[in-house]
Chain A
């Protein structure tokens, strides 16, 4: 546990160092080009702005978080279901894949405004835009994960007498988990951007994206950078949460043993031995022959 704490401390220190580095370069640029505060405020000033205007920022931030998280979850769910459906049926795949590519080739910024005309200036438009951005990496990764399941493993399941549904739940579905989380991590970083663009065209209720628009229009550089830092933090937090859930959901990727579940406490080797070795005299010859390596 001590080693774990030390490793965590080192990682946190490295992360802090990375942030410090960004702030350092930021300050350096201001110093080198002699930028005035109304053009580019220092990071210190920007962070201070967040404190100063917290009562303004807070409700806006909650609104943007809501759009980001809901849109992300909707996009992820749609992406996952589509991926599974496309893997299950070649026909669905041939029908849906061109539509998928089209949905990504259409510039979201371009259809954002028409979407707002269609769906109104409320939450719906923003959720659609975020989901549209998030679902694609999820579909592609889930599809990839399902395609990579070894045919021989599925044949083995058949030889064992498995029904298709059982094999699906025991072999194919869990195989999507690792790629699913790769897709979700990409989606998590897109989601905030999508929410901001959504707010630019569908501004009700106000969020940080709306605030960015009005602050930029009034040349309020401090306000813009304060909001930008908050948006960045939302994105990073969502990414970290997704990563953490992924670590818990796929323990085999970094652990060599399973967390000892309650079930394994009840495994009684002696009782189980009866089926196999019930008739054997104790200490029979295989004892000396089987050589653990």
Chain B
């Protein structure tokens, strides 16, 4: 963590769904410009946690603070991206990137310029006027991420954004996200099932338990940045992966790490 007040503070959040407990007194602190990966078994409430932070779901108790301000149950403060790209078919690449502005204050020329610059910078310069259906799955996810970046917010919630891509494209996208993150001052919360992905990208990996969702462990990832492909085969990476897998599957290594 970078010290000072946390960028996002999830404070003792509990969520009940029809009597079932989805999140159980969960607290989480994310520092300014920190990249936190969240891993956990299916049904551990990772998506529920995102819905709470984004304001879609009001928690049964607890609160969410952004820069120290209470935003519990309020939307419009953070960016959100899902496994589905959710691009709008009748909007071009630039049109999709500026969607946030179109939905709130109206699109200005500057928004389009910034969108075009962002797309050009990250390999979509020739596709500014393309409709989503003309793009590959990887390109569509890039556009979806740029749309999230272009919002007037610097906190991004990414919910398995690369889960639907083939492994080759996924690795490319991970490296690409690393470069984006290292360029820009953004805070990222990243949900994934893929332990390699979690470690490769993050400053910290948070492991959640099965239902009800609790935090089992919070593992710092001290791998130096900028990171590249070689990180994946380094001894430090393999050791971290052993620890995370142990935590997820409750082996002795897990107990040791705790």
Contacts and interface: CB of A to CB of B under 8 A. Distances in A.
A and B bind: yes
Interface of A: 150, 152-153, 155-163, 166-167, 170-171, 174, 177, 250, 252, 255-258, 260, 263-264, 266-277, 280, 284-286, 289-293
Contacts of B117: 269-277
Given A155-B56, A159-B80, A293-B138, A267 B90 contact: no
Nearest to B127: A257
Given A167-B103, A272-B113, A273-B117, A293 B92 contact: no
Contacts of B22: none
A104 to B, nearest CB: 30
Interface in B67-84: 75-80, 82, 84
Contacts of A275: 114, 117
Interface residues of B, number: 60
B244 interface: no
A7 B203 CA distance: 57
19 contacts: A156-B86, A159-B78, A160-B151, A161-B75, A161-B77, A163-B103, A250-B90, A258-B95, A267-B94, A267-B128, A272-B113, A273-B114, A275-B117, A276-B121, A285-B179, A286-B183, A291-B123, A292-B123, A293-B136
B90 A152 contact: no
Contacts of B102: 166, 170
A252 B113 CA distance: 22
Contacts of B95: 258
Q: Of residues B103, B109, B113, which shows the largest number of chain A Cβ atoms within 10 Å of its Cβ?
A: B103
A112 to B, nearest CB: 40
B19 interface: no
Q: Of residues A171, A256, A257, A289, which shows the largest number of chain B Cβ atoms within 10 Å of its Cβ?
A: A289
Given A257-B129, A257-B130, A291 B175 contact: yes
Given A264-B94, A264-B112, A267-B113, A289 B226 contact: yes
Given A159-B80, A167-B103, A273-B121, A293 B131 contact: no
Contacts of B88: 153, 170-171, 174
A153 B113 CA distance: 24
Interface of B: 54-56, 75-80, 82, 84, 86, 88-90, 92, 94-95, 99-100, 102-104, 109-110, 112-118, 120-125, 128-131, 133-134, 136, 138-139, 151, 169, 172, 175-176, 178-180, 182-184, 226, 228
B123 A266 contact: no
> DSSP class of A's interface residues: helix, strand, loop or mixed?
helix
A290 B169 contact: no
Nearest to B135: A256
Contacts of B84: 150, 152
Contacts of B178: 289
A267 B128 CA distance: 10
Contacts of A163: 103-104
A258 B56 contact: no
A268 to B, nearest CB: 5
B128 A264 contact: yes
Given A273-B117, A275-B114, A153 B76 contact: no
Contact of A150 (B86, B92, B172): B86
A159 B75 contact: yes
Contacts of A156: 80, 82, 86
A171 to B, nearest CB: 7
Given A162-B104, A274-B117, 17 more contacts: A150-B86, A159-B80, A161-B103, A252-B90, A257-B129, A257-B130, A258-B92, A263-B109, A263-B112, A267-B109, A270-B117, A289-B175, A290-B179, A291-B175, A293-B136, A293-B139, A293-B172
